[in-house]
Amino acid sequence: MLLEVKDLNVYYGAIHALQGISFDLEEGEIVTLIGANGAGKSTTLKTISGLLRPRTGTVRLRGEDLTSMPAQNIVKRGMVHVPEGRKIFAPLTVQENLEMGAYTRKDKAEIEGNMARAFKSFPRLKERMNQLGGTLSGGEQQMLAIGRGLMAQPKVLLLDEPSMGLAPILVEEIFAIIKAINAEGVSVLLVEQNALMALSIAHRGYVLETGTIMLSGTGQELLENPRVQSAYLGH
């Protein structure tokens, strides 16, 4: 098992945000978490990446317990979080933003190779490599955020709402990029409001409702589930 999340209970003060959730991610998979706003999706990613601490439960990456590990050490283990809202460094250039993604690494030649790969995957970023991150369009900023995450050479990429605020044509482009990243061997845990797109590319999915996993199945099974269709697909 690549990533195993077991019985996570997370609180914001007195609010019980995650209520004993358990799920897993195998090597080479795209797994998606879908649900309404406030269901606990982003909280789940923040807990897995070490930004939040669970009251109980465990997060294991290839059997190693990461539950109490500082976030920067989790990155070194190969788990990289691309947060909601992109969170790029607006005053830095595109190239400098990408370099920040490799801050835990010392292998200069390999970093340069990864930079070349990022520019190959995202040609628009190469065209704008000396442009300030804050001057990019929303879609370009999302590409930059994903590219920066890939610079850390993740085994698992945690993506939080990558399509938020993007025009439909850009949404399709971002999801094509996610599929391509996965095809190159990076496992992906995807949190996404656009349930139709997320389930269409995911191997498996979980439905969160008020901090609890209510349904799980393959992407196709959940697409065909009447409850999912009614609640999340507008059928």
pLDDT of residue 120: 85
If 0-12 CB within 10 Å is exposed, 13-18 middle and 19+ buried, where does residue 53 land?
A: exposed
Question: What pTM was computed for the model?
Answer: 0.93
pLDDT of residue 70: 95
Q: Which of 114-118, 182-186, 190-194, 226-230 has the lowest mean pLDDT?
A: 114-118
> What is the tens place of the pLDDT at every residue in 136-148?
998 899 889 999 9
pLDDT of residue 186: 96
> What is the tens place of the pLDDT at every residue in 23-60?
999 999 999 999 999 999 999 999 999 999 999 999 99
> What is the tens place of the pLDDT at every residue in 167-219?
888 889 899 999 999 999 999 999 998 999 999 999 999 999 999 999 999 99
pLDDT of residue 91: 92
If 0-12 CB within 10 Å is exposed, 13-18 middle and 19+ buried, where does residue 168 land?
A: exposed
pLDDT of residue 81: 95
pLDDT of residue 117: 85
Q: Which residue matches tokens 């098992």?
A: 1
The overall longest dimension of the chain from CA atoms, in Å, is: 51
Asked whether residue 109 carries a pLDDT value surpassing 90, the answer given is no
pLDDT of residue 169: 87
Asked whether residue 235 carries a pLDDT value surpassing 80, the answer given is no
**Enclosing H/E stretch for 205:** strand 204-209
Query: Hey, what domains does the chain have and what are their CATH numbers?
Result: 3-83+153-232 (3.40.50.300)
pLDDT of residue 113: 84
Asked whether residue 161 carries a pLDDT value surpassing 90, the answer given is yes
CA 183 to chain centre: 16
Q: Which residue matches tokens 């690549």?
A: 2
DSSP 3-state of 228: helix
Asked whether residue 104 carries a pLDDT value surpassing 90, the answer given is no
Average pLDDT value over all residues in the chain: 93
